[in-house]
Amino acid sequence: MSTANDMNVLADRFMRAIETGDMDTIRACYAPDARIWHNNDGLEQTVDDNARVLAWVTKHLPNRRYEIKSRHAFDGGYVQQHVLHGTLKNGEPFSMPACLVVTVTNGKIARLHEYLDSAHTLPLRQA
């Protein structure tokens, strides 16, 4: 059984790795067979698929930061609300609220469900 502290340490490590574009640490946070699902398309991604998306975000939103609004650990995972902030390449500010529901097995992210409003992604996709 993982403690709330264990969940917070993993979640902080994962979010810092995304902010800094540290793909090795991102991959290390995931179980090898982890699945990542997004509500906007209903599809599951593998770790490799997700790494490609995060690399794209790193390229197109180079100064990202996450504002954690709330995080609640539960036995076997955590739920987190956050806002992704950054500046688009055209100089415009960007922000996107999202919610993660994360299942953790053996100290690694086994499933991650990300909920976001796809309308918020449009400025990033157009940049």
Any long-range contacts for 20-23 (C-beta under 8 Å, 24+ apart)? 21/54, 21/55, 21/58, 23/51, 23/54, 23/55
| Distance of alpha carbon 20 from alpha carbon 17, whole angstroms | 5
Mean pLDDT in residue range 33-47:
95
pLDDT (tens digit, 9 = 90+) per residue, 16-28? 999 999 999 999 9
Identify the CATH number of the domain in which residue 89 sits.
Answer: 3.10.450.50
Bridge partner list, 103:
77, 111
Pick from 46, 11, 36, 37: which is nearest to 25 by CA? 11
Q: What is the domain range of residue 68? A: 4-126
Distance CA 91, CA 106 (A): 41
Per the structure, the count of domains in the chain is 1
Which has the higher per-residue pLDDT, 42 or 110?
A: 110
Using a pLDDT cut of 70, give the percent of the chain over it.
98
Specify the pLDDT at position 12.
Answer: 98
Least confident of 5-14, 54-63, 72-81: 54-63
Q: Looking at residues 30-38, what average pLDDT do you find?
A: 97
Q: Smallest Cα–Cα separation from 18: which of 65, 60, 69?
A: 65
pTM: 0.92
